[in-house]
Structure 1
Amino acid sequence: MQPLGPDLAHTHPRPVHWVATAAAVAAVMAGSSVFQPSDAKATTATTYSAPRTGALPGLTAPDPRAAAYPMDCPQAKPDVLDRGSADLDGDGRPETVAVVRCHSATGTPPSGVYVLGQPERRGGAPRVVATFVDPKEGMSVRDFGVRGKKVSATLLGYSSTRVPRCCPDLQRTVNWQWRDGKFVLKALPVPGSV
């Protein structure tokens, strides 16, 4: 039987290669377990109703500029950096997911990612029904999107207080999806770990 390709005798791994590979994978996995949102399951308000089936006519997605966010911004309402809307839980009512942060003329304050549900009464403000990323976690958000019933983002963070706030040195792509009555977080593999 003929070999399928050129002789690759020089590519045979030796025990030292396996040890180095195992150490590298362990380091990546240790780093990736440190860098993720603090709660693998997004917090959900207790007043969030159970899903119903069928779209409800006439409902518009909640306006993220009208919501009151659980953030302490000293000077003004938080800035809405990005948003996306969809019926994430299949109850026939659209939700809005908003990326917000406190206003700042300089620097990059940490972001929050919140799910907004319909107001409790006509003309009322949208309700925060889930928190995906709390600003207290010190992360920024990039590549945010709502596609179908899935919310995705890349979270940027810092490995230590010595890292300048301008230049996050950690990143993790994550997504959230409604499953079994709650939003479930899935962290994708760290780049270069596979």
Structure 2
Amino acid sequence: MQPLAGQDLLHTQPRLMHWLTTATAVSAVVAAASFIQPPDATATTSRDTRAGHRSVTAVGTAPDPAKVAFPVDCGPHRLDIARQVSGDLDGDGTTETVAEVRCHSETGTPPSAVYVLAQSAGSRAVPRIVATLLAPGQQLSVRTLALRDRAVVADVEGYSSLDVPRCCPDVRKSVKWQWRGGKFVQSELPASVVTQSA
């Protein structure tokens, strides 16, 4: 039996409206789902971001020499941090600090000690001494300290003998320490090389 033309139109209209309503509802559900992520996905992303931030901070943070107990005996006098410079000395992507320390004195020129510091694991960890470039027993005083192309460069002065007054060093030279073969190698620079104080 053939439906009448009017009946066919009436029968089609509800189907079309039903289809439009269903399509609108499905679109709304899909749109809402795109804004919602599973809890574990959000936690993983946050952890990854924080870990990356910590890594960048650790790489760029120079060890603080004020937190280090240096192996220098100053008796009743305090130990002064005279100079410090920071940079990546061994090419591993982390920052080291080179610190010159010496016993406090109102007169004379006390001998210097120069140490390389690296940051220990953890943001609150105390930096550690990884190398001694100049020991106090060498009886040399640092006049300038700088970093050049991952090398530590310094002008130092000392005494040719015990007869020379401690106020007036008579030996002067420029030295360089550079990371080679897993250690710092010292070399003397020509007298014409002048370094800049840090």
TM-score by length of 2: 0.64
Spell out the pairing of 1:28-177 with structure 2 (5 A cutoff).
Answer: 56-59=55-58, 60-75=61-76, 77-177=78-178
Q: Which has the larger radius of gyration?
A: 2
Describe the shift of the 1:93–1:76 C-alpha distance in structure 2 as closer, same or farther (beyond 3 A): farther
Q: How far 1:105 moved relative to its partner?
A: 2.4
Q: 1 or 2 for the larger relative contact order (CA 8 Å, sep ≥6)?
A: 1
Off by >6 Å, runs of 4+ in structure 1: none
Secondary structure of the corresponding residue to residue 65 of structure 1: helix
Q: How far 1:102 moved relative to its partner?
A: 0.8
Gaps of 5+ in 2: 1-54, 193-198
Q: How far 1:147 moved relative to its partner?
A: 2.4
Question: Match of 1:166, as an amino acid?
Answer: C
Alpha-carbon separation, structure 2, partners of 1:100 and 1:82:
7
Aligned length: 136
Matched-pair contact (CA < 8 Å) for 1:79–1:102: yes
Alpha-carbon separation, structure 1, partners of 2:129 and 2:77:
18
Alpha-carbon separation, structure 1, partners of 2:77 and 2:68:
13
Spell out the pairing of 1:17-32 with structure 2 (5 A cutoff).
Answer: none
Alpha-carbon separation, structure 2, partners of 1:190 and 1:160:
21
Matched-pair contact (CA < 8 Å) for 2:107–2:167: no
Question: Match of 1:171, as an amino acid?
Answer: R
Matched-pair contact (CA < 8 Å) for 2:82–2:101: yes
Question: Match of 1:58, as an amino acid?
Answer: T
Partner of 1:42: none
Alpha-carbon separation, structure 1, partners of 2:151 and 2:163:
35
Alpha-carbon separation, structure 2, partners of 1:125 and 1:77:
20
Residue-by-residue CA offset, 1:110-144 (whole Å, 9 max, x unaligned): 10010001125441221111001101111101121
Matched-pair contact (CA < 8 Å) for 1:84–1:96: yes
Alpha-carbon separation, structure 1, partners of 2:77 and 2:57:
32
TM-score by length of 1: 0.66
Alpha-carbon separation, structure 1, partners of 2:148 and 2:78:
27
Matched-pair contact (CA < 8 Å) for 1:151–1:177: yes
Q: Percent identity?
A: 52
Matched-pair contact (CA < 8 Å) for 1:86–1:148: no
